[in-house]
Amino acid sequence: MAEKVLMKGNEAIAEAALMAGCRHYFGYPITPQTELTAYMAKRLPKMDGVFLQAESELAAINMVIGVSAAGKRVMTSSSSPGISLKGEGLSYLAGCDLPAFVVNVQRGGPGLGGIQPSQSDYFQATRGTHGDYRTIVLAPDSVQEMVSLTIKGFELADKYRMTAMLLADGTLGQMMEPVSLDQGEIVTFEKPWAANGTKMQRPNNIINSLSLIPEELEQWNLTRFKRYDIVEQNEVMYEEYMMEDAEICLVSFGITARVSKNAIAEARAKGIKAGMIRPITLWPFPKKPLLAAAQKVKAFVTVEMNMGQMIEDVELATRCLKPVISCTRCGGVIPSPNDVMAAIDKACEIGGAAK
């Protein structure tokens, strides 16, 4: 195995994208993801790639649409307010059935908010902007996972012709950890649909999200959603942590899952049987393991850096069979293991678990 290197999360995403074969990056700097843009600016020109700091986020996402239509692996990255600006383009990508890899290193909001970390774009990432469409949302909890999920993201985007979004937060983007860049074979796909020149040997490929006929537009949506069904069946990723005997099930993603693991150790030391289901794909959401857990555990605790967004998906997935306690901090504040421990205590009381 290759020797490890020490990387910031933002740099690790950039390096992994290069490993995945991405040679086109379009973006606009914004804290706390700017290292990603800076890394691409340094590396891509040396690899015969294209780095372009666009005049705006709107321009950047439309450049992504163009390169994707030409059949190349392409990405953009930003932080919360910048992703909002890219929202229109994300919907156009979906309407055109184009693959793209998009990174959101979240900061506190709403509005201009702040530059400290948050997870408050969960709704935006999993629900998207206008129109009926889905985005594959990947939530890493370490710099190492930022590498593996970036490579996976490019693969899934091409496989299903849709956007894969890496949803990180400022802490993961800024923190440094040792990583292995040895990630095995890169999976690529033929793109017979790409608008990359007919060479006078085939009809034109037309890439378009506009339809003048309602029935036709409906059919496009139905076809697209059949593909989404396959994604939901095949691509759910999650981690089960100390769930064998758990009475309290924490549900958390990204950096707060790490805080939760510390809290679980503390709870176990006090005799509380706590475990965790960590969604790695936020869409498709791990509904089945959560519903199965709801048959066994006494209560759930969701831990997020927002006002409580993923909790809605947990309540839906578990059909509200058991109480769900929300543990949240927001505005750029990370919940402490004590915050999580207090929520676990509350869940024990409400759910009737042994303490």
Q: Which stretch binds another protein (CB under 8 A): 1-9, 225-233, 266-274, 277-285?
A: 1-9
Instruction: Choose, by CB under 8 A, the member of 25, 26, 27, 32 that binds another protein.
Output: 32
Segment interacting with another protein (CB under 8 A) among 63-71, 106-114, 218-226, 238-246:
106-114
Q: Describe the crossing of helices 255-269 and 337-351 by its angle, rounded to 10 degrees.
A: 60
Q: Among residues 169, 158, 108, 164, which one has the least CA distance to residue 136?
A: 164
Rule CB under 8 A: choose which of 110, 130, 176, 354 binds another protein: 176
Question: CB 6 → another protein: shortest distance, Å?
Answer: 4
Q: What per-residue string of b and e applies to 313-336 under the rule 16 or more CB within 10 Å gives b?
A: bbbebbeeebbbbbbbbbebebbe
* Binding to another protein in span 177-206, by CB under 8 A: 177-178, 181
99: left (phi over 0), alpha (psi -120 to 50) or beta: beta
**Could you tell me the smallest distance in angstroms from the CB atom of residue 74 to another protein?**
22
Distances (CA, A) of 108 to 23, 38, 113, 251: 30, 22, 5, 21
Cβ atoms within 10 A of the Cβ of 217, count? 15
The correct pick among 9, 13, 15, 120 for binding another protein (CB under 8 A) is 15
Q: Mark 310-349 with x for binding to another protein (rule: CB under 8 A) and - for no binding.
A: ----------------------x-x-x-------------
The amino acid that residue 101 corresponds to is F
- Tell me phi and psi for residue 201, to 5 degrees: -120, -5
Question: What's the closest the beta carbon of residue 9 comes to another protein, in angstroms?
Answer: 11
Query: Dihedral angle at the C-alpha atoms of 36, 42, 43, 47, nearest 10 degrees?
Result: 140
- Restricting to residues 144-173, which ones interact with another protein according to CB under 8 A? 170
Binding site for another protein (CB under 8 A): 3-8, 11, 15, 31-32, 35, 38-39, 42-43, 108, 113-116, 170, 174-178, 181, 332, 334, 336
